[in-house]
Amino acid sequence: MSSSRSVRKLEVVSPVPADIDIANSVEPFHISEIAKDLNLSPNHYDLYGKYKAKVLLSVLDELESSDNGYYVVVGGITPTPLGEGKSTTTVGLCQALGAYLDRKVVTCLRQPSQGPTFGIKGGAAGGGYSQVIPMDEFNLHLTGDIHAITAANNLLAAAIDTRIFHESTQSDKALFNRLCPPNKEGKRKFSDIMFRRLKKLDITKTQPGDLTPEEVKKFARLDIDPNSITWRRVMDVNDRFLRKITVGQGPEEKGMVRETGFDISVASEIMAVLALTTSLADMRERLGKMVIGNSKAGEPITADDLGVGGALTVLMKDAINPTLMQTLEGTPVLVHAGPFANIAHGNSSIVADKIALKLVGPQGFVVTEAGFGADIGTEKFMNIKCRYSDLRPQCAVIVATIRALKMHGGGPEVVAGKPLDHAYLNENVPLVEAGCVNLARHIINTEAYGVNVVVAVNKFSTDTEAEMNAVMNAAMAAGAFNAVICTHHAHGGKGAVDLGVAVQRACASGNQQLKYLYPLDISIKEKIEAIAKSYGASGVEYTEQAEKQIEMYTKQGFSGLPICMAKTQYSFSHNAAEKGAPSGFILPIRDVRASIGAGFIYPLVGTMSTMPGLPTRPCFYEIDLDTATGKVIGLS
């Protein structure tokens, strides 16, 4: 690529300033300049202000015959509650590839929820001198995708309760007549979406007046079992008091009270649909297929049965386009989707990756991040995301820190908000070496997918040369393609040049063939057990509820879907306190649920909170606006 592109060399200072101060110290390029570097013309994107643009899916159609670039996924070892810098490493690697190694590169990241931004974790734009900017826009409203998901999710929730209400107060005939009202000429007709339900019921008639009384009943009465409803309302705020609520307490709802609750917006199945969809038409089908519960006869009820699939697609029509942004060093970023990494698959969107791979061309690089440790994020990237995208990665990066490895070696507990124990601040090579069993298992598991593994040791100021050498030696002994030290937090792309070179070599070293962990045509239990084995488990036990759900999903025809395990990110096992590389344990499956529209079954290993709470002192204490300059301050 020509050197005229939008690359900015950073002037780094030490000690590293606060993330928001670094982000505010850099004036971003106009996003049209970043688009131009990718050979995008103004008709390929819609501007959202000066520093963001939505890239249109028509780009994929235009570049259909173009070759893809190299595809790299960034995962990590089992993390501490502080995080080990996967997002920062992803951004730093791309800054190195684009600003120092003269490669075309696109970073593909998830959009963060506003919940953690104002809660405990803070934002997710990277950190130090490896960030996406403008950082405040990235972490807050962005281009409104999460708001669109919230609106669509809650429209469906309203449709569910309203349908139960109307069915409870009307006869079959009255209900049918209201669903198919006469037009001005006095003729009744089915709306287009109703033909989807008619087809599902094997009713081939096209005129409402031709249906028999039995067919009228089958068509008009969904007969939803309120106890089976899995669809909950959502909002993009951490609000623990909405985890369990009752609805229908108004006098006009005729005593139709039921217990439900709110999830955080990024836990909505619609977010997972957005991340796994491959086109507008595919998204329409997935949204319509979402199952909200069962009828009293045990039949799955979908969004299309409720007549709302088309309306959901209209609310999501702009959200399907990825948002173009930039790093501190002017390399391009596509931000799109942000599904949970436990009850969903924790990866950014397929469409963003596909667009990026075409834009960078055959010698370019697309780097995407997978949530949590490689046992969760990378596993789901391979077995779920790559299955639906039909894309094949050439390299997987595993991010490790001395801090986390010491914890896995038997170091004291690491607690967010509390000072680190002295064991983490002073040299202790034996502790690091003991913890490398965790890294080794992640390397072995990831290599089994048929990709080259590069270990990125994210260096902290307290890490010593002996400790880092111990990690690199352990990584190579476990079969890594390469292992390198990175200082991108302190130095930006310059601190990840060695990583960039290693990734280039890993991608170019051969024609890697993706091998899935399990085939789709085996039973739900066999798939669960294959994943459990990769964790180190010797077996799986199922509660009565889990057994019942597996039987139901198999009977309903959903057993051919991939598996999305919902378990703690803090251990290979179900017990967050089990560090290192535990083995021989029995993995307990408490319940099994399904996201049919998104396209996966998710077993629950333990209890998963889908609505976080706020701590005593949330991040919002630090966040304010400089009213003189209009700049956000205190965002982390």
CATH of the domain at 251: 3.30.1510.10
410 pLDDT band, cuts 50/70/90, is: very high
pLDDT, tens digit, for every residue of 184-209?
888 999 999 999 999 999 999 999 99
Overall average pLDDT of the 78-105 stretch: 96
> What is the domain extent for residue 233?
146-309
pLDDT at residue 147 greater than cutoff 80 = yes
The pLDDT of residue 5: 67
Q: Is residue 117 part of a domain?
A: yes
Phi, psi (deg, nearest 5) at residue 455 = -95, 125
**Side chain identity, residue 576:** A
The pLDDT of residue 20: 87
Overall average pLDDT of the 601-625 stretch: 91
Q: Is residue 11 part of a domain?
A: no
pLDDT at residue 1 greater than cutoff 50 = no
Distance CA 106, CA 94 (A): 7
Total-model pTM: 0.96
Same-domain status, 150 and 114: no
3-state helix, strand, coil in the chain (%, to 5): 40, 15, 45
Same-domain status, 135 and 165: no
Q: DSSP strand E in 193-309: where?
A: 233-235, 245-247, 258-260, 262-264, 291-294, 300-302
Residue 327 in contact with residue 167, Cβ under 8 Å? no
The pLDDT of residue 635: 85
Q: Higher pLDDT residue, 415 or 437?
A: 437
Q: Higher pLDDT residue, 478 or 121?
A: 478
Question: Residue 97, CB half-sphere, CA atoms under 13 Å: how many?
Answer: 30
Which structure tokens are listed for 536? 């180190």
Same-domain status, 211 and 357: no
Same-domain status, 86 and 173: no
SS3 call for 520: coil
Q: Is residue 71 part of a domain?
A: yes
Distance CA 253, CA 464 (A): 66
Residue 404, H or E segment: helix 402-408
Same-domain status, 257 and 355: no
pLDDT, tens digit, for every residue of 439-477?
999 999 999 999 999 999 999 999 999 999 999 999 999
Q: Count of domains in the chain? A: 3
Same-domain status, 102 and 152: no
pLDDT, tens digit, for every residue of 214-244?
999 999 999 999 999 999 999 999 999 999 9
CA neighbor of 335 nearest in space, from 16, 623, 55: 55
Same-domain status, 363 and 433: yes
Same-domain status, 357 and 462: yes
Query: Cα dihedral angle (518, 520, 524, 528), rounded to 10 degrees?
Result: 20
- What's the CATH number where 504 sits? 3.40.50.300
Q: What is the mean pLDDT of the chain?
A: 95
Q: Is residue 618 part of a domain?
A: no
The residue behind tokens 């789709």 is 520
- What's the CATH number where 564 sits? 3.10.410.10
Same-domain status, 288 and 166: yes
Same-domain status, 276 and 304: yes
CA neighbor of 608 nearest in space, from 233, 259, 269, 340: 340
Q: Is residue 206 part of a domain?
A: yes
Which of 278, 309, 340 marks a domain boundary?
A: 309
Distance CA 101, CA 173 (A): 70
Residue 98 in contact with residue 7, Cβ under 8 Å? yes
pLDDT, tens digit, for every residue of 270-293?
999 999 999 999 999 999 999 999
Same-domain status, 418 and 327: yes
Distance CA 136, CA 163 (A): 40
